[in-house]
């Protein structure tokens, strides 16, 4: 399969890339790792008159802690997250996520920014970033602006990005002590989209009670779903088995998946419940609770 | 549609070639450089038959534009053999019966090559994880794992 014709641009700086996007407006698409966009162009489910490849712009590929945030450059490869010791030890939910995105070869090119900006409700990073309370930094002609992740993804394959803006950084608040997270995905095989998946990030108080809980679901509707009822329910409670079970029940109720060859609505909603329970149990254990 | 002159080094040989913007790396390798060892399987980023090494990383060459490879160093299955001598991975696939129809083999070899370049002595679990993006419909993978273990055990 061969994509329809397009013009290819390889700007060497962010300013040049934004200039190209301004010039070509809706006719242009940003090419990051290309692991979602190129298959869509080949299948001719998407088209572009101009591709603006951000792959040669320096300074968009990093993982670092700074000013109370974990900062991930928009073009950071998923394989870099997978191999990062900082991510493994301090942000296990992101390590879990990187390990189940597509397959290891795809992850060598796929980028974290691309996974978010593509806004496929079956993509894995949106749910983990919702659970973590992340925000994204986008850069456009007027400079930078910061958008909380729950306001970034506005619909299926739709984000708050303007046509001349580029997602340049993801910021995750550095979790306090006694925090832990997990991402649990059900997939038919490696490389498949999630039948259902749940992300959970919790912070426990010194008394072992939940101070903060972030829970979000993948493949549970047209956008990633934040299970706010479950989050509120957990607040201030000791996360024992019965409490986790009730939070998981509330999370499953928040899912509104659609039926496809991966399963019926009822099955996927039930899996959202089961996976939430598993993610919460692991998150609590990682936070140092029981 | 724009045309671009790209400079790539493939199996140690430098090339300056003109390519269409939409030309996929796998078609560039097979049709333009006539290196047909790299196979096109599913053409949808699933099967891994088209895997080549781009700089240091295994990459599905059906999901990369040739123009994106400008400046890169690429290794294909043709680059494994040295001076008429099979690479230990090729020797391993031969000794351990790591292939039947052979269609997935170039991709399996290049993924394994990428694995051994950063993990000299991988565990069975690490091997299985590394090749989880390469599909084989013949072997059941057992002999592929043994073949990679054979190569890992060779002195390098």
Residues A96 and A150: their CA atoms lie apart, in Å, by 21
- Name the pLDDT band for B155 (thresholds 50, 70, 90): confident
Q: Based on the structure, what is the number of domains in chain A?
A: 3
Residue of B nearest to A77 (CA): B57
What backbone phi and psi angles, to 5 degrees, belong to B144? -65, -45
* Domains defined along chain B, listed by start: 3-77 (3.10.20.30), 88-152 (1.10.150.120)
Most A-contacting residue of B22, B104, B127 (CB-CB within 10 A), to test interface: B22
Q: Is residue A182 part of a domain?
A: no
B38 touching A (Cβ < 8 Å): no
Most B-contacting residue of A3, A8, A44, A118 (CB-CB within 10 A), to test interface: A8
CB-nearest to A108 from B44, B58, B129 is B58
Do A138 and A42 fall into the same domain? no
Rounded to two decimals, the pTM is 0.96
Do A72 and A118 fall into the same domain? yes
Residues B67-93: what's their mean pLDDT? Answer: 97
Contact A39 B64 (CB under 8 A): no
Name the domain boundary from A139, A157, A173.
A173
Domain that holds residue A20: 7-56
Tokens 């010791």 map to which residue? A85
A87-109 residue pLDDT tens: 999 999 999 999 999 999 999 99
Do A46 and A73 fall into the same domain? no
Do A207 and A263 fall into the same domain? yes
Do A134 and A231 fall into the same domain? no
CB-nearest to A39 from B27, B63, B65 is B63
Do A253 and A213 fall into the same domain? yes
Residues B33 and B78: their CA atoms lie apart, in Å, by 12
Name the domain boundary from A158, A173, A188.
A173
Chain A residues whose CB is inside 8 A of the B63 CB are 34-35, 38-39, 106, 109
Q: Is residue A214 part of a domain?
A: yes
Q: Is residue A244 part of a domain?
A: yes
Do A220 and A277 fall into the same domain? yes
Q: Which residues share a beta bridge with B17?
A: B6
ipTM of the complex: 0.97
Name the domain boundary from A118, A140, A173.
A173
CATH code, A30? 3.30.43.10
Do A68 and A110 fall into the same domain? yes
Residues B50 and B24: their CA atoms lie apart, in Å, by 11
Q: Is residue A70 part of a domain?
A: yes
- Predicted confidence at residue A289, as pLDDT, reads 66
Do A46 and A67 fall into the same domain? no
Do A146 and A75 fall into the same domain? yes
Q: Is residue A243 part of a domain?
A: yes
In three state form, how does the secondary structure of chain B look?
A: CCEEEEEEEECCEEEEEEEECCCEHHHHHHHHCCCCCCCCCCCCCCCCCCEEEECCEEEEHHHCEHHHHCCCEEECHHHCCECCECCHHHHHHHHCCCCCCCCCHHHHHHHHHHHHHHCCCCCHHHHHHHHHHCCCCCCCCHHHHHHHHHHHCCCC
CB-nearest to A108 from B21, B24, B59 is B59
- Predicted confidence at residue A290, as pLDDT, reads 55
CATH code, A112? 3.30.465.10
Q: Is residue A184 part of a domain?
A: no
From first to last of the 290 residues of chain A, give the pLDDT tens digit.
Answer: 999 999 999 999 999 999 999 999 999 999 999 999 999 999 999 999 999 999 999 999 999 999 999 999 999 999 999 999 999 999 999 999 999 999 999 999 999 999 999 999 999 999 999 999 999 999 999 999 999 999 999 999 999 999 999 999 999 999 999 999 999 999 999 999 999 999 999 999 999 999 999 999 999 999 999 999 999 999 999 999 999 999 999 999 999 999 999 999 999 999 999 999 999 999 999 999 65
Most A-contacting residue of B19, B21, B30, B43 (CB-CB within 10 A), to test interface: B21
| Chain B (53-92) residues lying within 8 Å, Cβ to Cβ, of chain A | 57-60, 62-65, 67-68, 70
A2-46 residue pLDDT tens: 999 999 999 999 999 999 999 999 999 999 999 999 999 999 999
B109 touching A (Cβ < 8 Å): no
Contact B48 A103 (CB under 8 A): yes
Residues A253 and A270: their CA atoms lie apart, in Å, by 9
> Measured between alpha carbons, how far apart are the two ends of chain A, in Å?
52
Q: Is residue A290 part of a domain?
A: no
- Predicted confidence at residue A136, as pLDDT, reads 98
Do A202 and A244 fall into the same domain? yes
Do A120 and A146 fall into the same domain? yes
Q: Is residue A183 part of a domain?
A: no
CA distance, residue A82 to nearest chain B CA (Å)? 12
B51 touching A (Cβ < 8 Å): yes
């Amino acid at each position: 399969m061969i994509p329809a014709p397009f013009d290819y641009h390889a700007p060497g700086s962010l300013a040049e890339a934004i200039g190209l996007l301004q010039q070509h407006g809706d006719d242009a698409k940003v090419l990051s790792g290309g692991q979602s966009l190129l298959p869509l162009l080949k299948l001719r489910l998407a088209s572009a008159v101009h591709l603006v490849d951000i792959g040669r712009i320096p300074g968009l590929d990093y993982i670092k802690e700074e000013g109370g945030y974990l900062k991930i450059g928009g073009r950071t490869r998923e394989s870099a997250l997978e191999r990062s010791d900082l991510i493994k030890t301090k942000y296990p939910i992101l390590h879990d996520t990187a390990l189940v995105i597509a397959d290891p070869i795809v992850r060598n090119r796929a980028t974290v920014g691309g996974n978010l900006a593509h806004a496929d409700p079956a993509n894995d990073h949106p749910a983990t970033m919702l659970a973590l309370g992340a925000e994204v930094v986008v850069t456009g002609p007027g400079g930078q602006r910061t958008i909380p992740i729950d306001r970034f993804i506005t619909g299926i394959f739709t984000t708050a990005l303007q046509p001349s803006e580029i997602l340049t950084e993801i910021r995750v608040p550095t979790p306090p002590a006694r925090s832990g997270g997990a991402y649990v995905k059900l997939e038919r095989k490696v490389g498949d989209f999630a039948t259902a998946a749940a992300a959970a990030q919790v912070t426990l108080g010194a008394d072992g009670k939940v101070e903060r809980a972030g829970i979000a679901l993948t493949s549970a509707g047209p956008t990633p779903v934040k299970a706010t009822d479950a989050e509120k329910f957990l607040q201030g409670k000791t996360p024992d088995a019965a409490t986790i079970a009730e939070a998981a029940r509330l999370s499953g109720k928040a899912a509104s998946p659609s039926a496809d060859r991966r399963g019926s609505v009822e099955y996927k909603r039930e899996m959202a419940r089961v996976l939430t329970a598993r993610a919460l149990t692991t998150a609590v254990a990682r936070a140092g609770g029981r | 549609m724009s045309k671009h002159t790209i400079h790539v080094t493939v199996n140690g040989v430098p090339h300056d070639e003109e390519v269409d913007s939409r030309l996929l790396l796998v078609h560039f390798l097979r049709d333009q450089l006539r290196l047909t060892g790299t196979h096109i399987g599913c053409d949808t980023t699933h099967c891994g038959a088209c895997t080549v090494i781009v700089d240091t990383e295994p990459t599905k060459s059906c999901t990369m534009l040739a123009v994106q490879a400008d400046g890169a160093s690429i290794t294909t299955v043709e680059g494994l053999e040295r001076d008429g001598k099979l690479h230990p991975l090729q020797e391993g696939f031969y000794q351990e019966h790591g292939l039947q129809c052979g269609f997935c083999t170039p991709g399996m070899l290049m993924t394994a090559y990428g694995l051994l370049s950063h993990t000299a002595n991988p565990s069975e679990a690490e091997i299985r994880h590394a090749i989880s993006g390469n599909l084989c419909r013949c072997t059941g993978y057992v002999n592929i794992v043994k073949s990679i273990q054979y190569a890992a055990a060779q002195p390098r």
